[in-house]
A and B are shown apart, each in its own frame.
Chain A
Amino acid sequence: MFDARPSDTDYVRHRVSQFRAQVARRLDGSLTEDEFRPLRLMNGVYLQLHAYMLRIAIPYGTLSPDQMRMLAYLAEHYDKGYGHWTTRTNMQFNWPKLVEIPDMLDHLASVNLHAIQTSGNTIRNTTTDAFAGAAADEITDPRPYAELIRKWSTDHAEFQFLPRKFKIAISGGKRDRALVPAHDIGLRIVEKDGQRGFEVWVGGGLGRTPMLGSVIRDFLPEQDLLPYLEAIIATYNLTGRRDNKYKARIKITVSERGLDVFKADVEDDFKFRRLEFHGVDQEALAEFRERFAAPAFRNAAVDGFEAERAANPAFRSWTDTNLHPHKIDGYASVIVTFKAPGATPGDASAEQMRLLAELAEKYGHDDIRVSHDQNVVLPHVHKADLPALYLALREAGLATANAGKTSDIIACPGMDYCTLATARSIPIAQEIAEHFRAVGLEDEIGKLNIRISGCINACGHHHLGHIGILGLDRAGVENYQITLGGDGYDIPAIGQRAGAGFPAEEVVPAIDRLLRAYLEIREDENERFIDAYRRLGPAPFKAVLYPETVDA
């Protein structure tokens, strides 16, 4: 049942004071690590390969300039001057000290941020389209619904001990940019007979058993959102497997029981849940709609923008690549990639964070988004301001014109930081980006999604990469499997393993062979790698990945 709290901040501060006391009890020996671990995880505190890690929730990826500045402050004062954008649009700090984390959380509370439910078998941060509220193809801004889900799921008493973690995504565009089919529950906003509602997907997920979800309801009326979500998660809570961690996600529950059986249970439960919702959720939704009202867009001439495009090839290239169509004439959404050649994908320095806060205030209607591909979006920028914005970004090394291209790689932290990892991801991403920049093929290759995970848990979404790379430990040596044909967007697909893995030093040559072959066999420059793969199948690509097999 939805519980409208008088103040988010009071609640968050209460949780921080609880955690501060828990840390004190851990340090004075009153709590053992076994007792403390679930408490710290509830507050986003992991123990990683070199240090603790604090994962901060960025609800549906939306940040205000003040919140961004607070992240910069934490990076400087409690970490090593940077933070890491995750594929769940959160921020991770890699080096906090346990004794200082309560202070970090207090600072976060002052800007209404927290780390609650960024770990544990709970409902995690709901993700959405990074262009929400701005995209030209959007039916409606999904963030009021995402906020409703956040309020409802935070500290939801029934769902604090699910069989496994639970991830929800919501997309409002005609094109899905939130990876809806790859989530435990995915929601697409749709309209039917003039009524707004959701196409509800269930049972998707990556990890060791990657699956795309299925549609459990093709039209769910808007007002039924929370009771229906509750019915799905309650059904999963009771029927999901708790005997085997690797079979505990809802995708396994749905596939083992069958969608029809699962759905019948959900619909039965839904009948009763629905009676418990008396409209407070709809009142809250109306309030959230006001909170997410569009900013006061302005009218201005775009002559300067066009003139700069004509005069400055670097600016033109950046605007060709890093802008997304906006619903308002004269505006664009700007993709600021954190994928400069040699950079660690998704790492942002405190200076870069402060600059983005300042630029969002100056040119971006105070709005900042974190995208699931580890970039940052300024959703509302008037084109007249783009030349000045570009210059400011370029000075900070943030104007790389590579959004959606070869070097715009998603990579998890891998074994450079993560205790679950079986191999490193970051150096592979860096080497690929640097190589294709050096050989000058990135522009020719065009749109390409490369995704790298350092273990089978797939935080780097490798299954959804047109080219996916999975790092494994083969007899004490890092080894990388390549998957082909994955897609997280227009035609969702799980990539298929191409064959035997490659040692680290052979990954870049293998990707080089693959992409040179693609350039040879594509019909024209409009045929992306993934399109050519779909047209031709895996055979020509496997042949260049494994030439010795073909020769033999």
Chain B
Amino acid sequence: MSKAFIPTAARPGVITANDLREGHNVWMCEDGWTPDPAQATLYEDEAIAELALLKAIGQDNLVVGPYMVEARRGPNGPEPTHFREAFRQKGPSNYFHGIQTTKKSEAAHV
């Protein structure tokens, strides 16, 4: 999993990190950070993405370890392209814990 992913229009990306105080996964969105990956801002332009990542890194008092990672445009928002990010967006497979408990769309068919 490369943390130096640079998004393009063909291969867009999102910025993700962990919440400093509680540790859960968060994604950068228009007005800050969201625990809902579907709300994440999808970056398709290298320069804009770079600025956004710098901004994320500057929010060290809110989040831990922000990085840019590939995502694809989906009907309900950005979707993961790699299984690691898919697990981060869902939660563990052995228990119904983590993000899956708060995402209505996925909870409905679990």
Give the B-binding residues of A (Cβ under 8 A).
26-27, 29, 32-33, 47, 49-52, 80, 94-99, 344, 347, 415-417, 424, 426-427, 430, 473, 476-478
Q: What CA separation (Å) do A426 and B24 show in the bound complex?
A: 21
Known: A26-B20, A96-B23, A430-B94. A415 touches B84 (CB 8 A): yes
Interface string of B60-101 (1 = CB under 8 A from A): 110011000000000000000111100110011111011100
CB within 8 A of A424: which of B64, B81, B93?
B93
Residue from the set B23, B64, B84 with the largest chain A CB neighbour count within 10 Å: B23
Evaluate contact between B23 and A51: CB separation under 8 angstroms: yes
Does B25 sit within 8 A of A, measured CB to CB? yes
CB within 8 A of B22: which of A99, A347, A416?
A99
Cβ of A417: which chain B residues have Cβ within 8 Å of it?
92
| Least CB separation from B57: chain A residue | A33
Evaluate contact between A49 and B87: CB separation under 8 angstroms: yes
17 interchain pairs, CB-CB under 8 A: A27-B21, A47-B18, A49-B88, A51-B18, A51-B24, A52-B18, A80-B95, A95-B23, A97-B22, A98-B22, A98-B23, A99-B22, A415-B84, A416-B92, A416-B93, A424-B87, A476-B81
Cβ of B81: which chain A residues have Cβ within 8 Å of it?
476
Q: What CA separation (Å) do A96 and B22 show in the bound complex?
A: 7
CB within 8 A of B87: which of A80, A97, A99, A415?
A415
Cβ of A344: which chain B residues have Cβ within 8 Å of it?
94-95
Known: A95-B97, A344-B94. A33 touches B23 (CB 8 A): no
Given contacts A51-B18, A99-B22, 12 further A-B contacts (CB under 8 A): A27-B20, A29-B60, A50-B24, A50-B97, A51-B22, A51-B23, A94-B92, A95-B97, A344-B95, A416-B92, A473-B84, A477-B83
Cβ of B60: which chain A residues have Cβ within 8 Å of it?
29, 32-33
Task: Pick the 6 closest A-B CB pairs, nearest first.
Answer: A52-B23, A416-B92, A51-B23, A97-B22, A29-B61, A344-B94
Cβ of A99: which chain B residues have Cβ within 8 Å of it?
21-22
Interface string of B21-59 (1 = CB under 8 A from A): 111110000000000000000000000000000000000
CB within 8 A of A426: which of B23, B84, B94, B99?
B94
Evaluate contact between A478 and B94: CB separation under 8 angstroms: no
Q: What CA separation (Å) do A260 and B48 show in the bound complex?
A: 58
Known: A29-B61, A50-B92, A50-B99. A476 touches B82 (CB 8 A): yes
Cβ of A47: which chain B residues have Cβ within 8 Å of it?
18, 23, 64-65
Q: What CA separation (Å) do A417 and B93 show in the bound complex?
A: 9
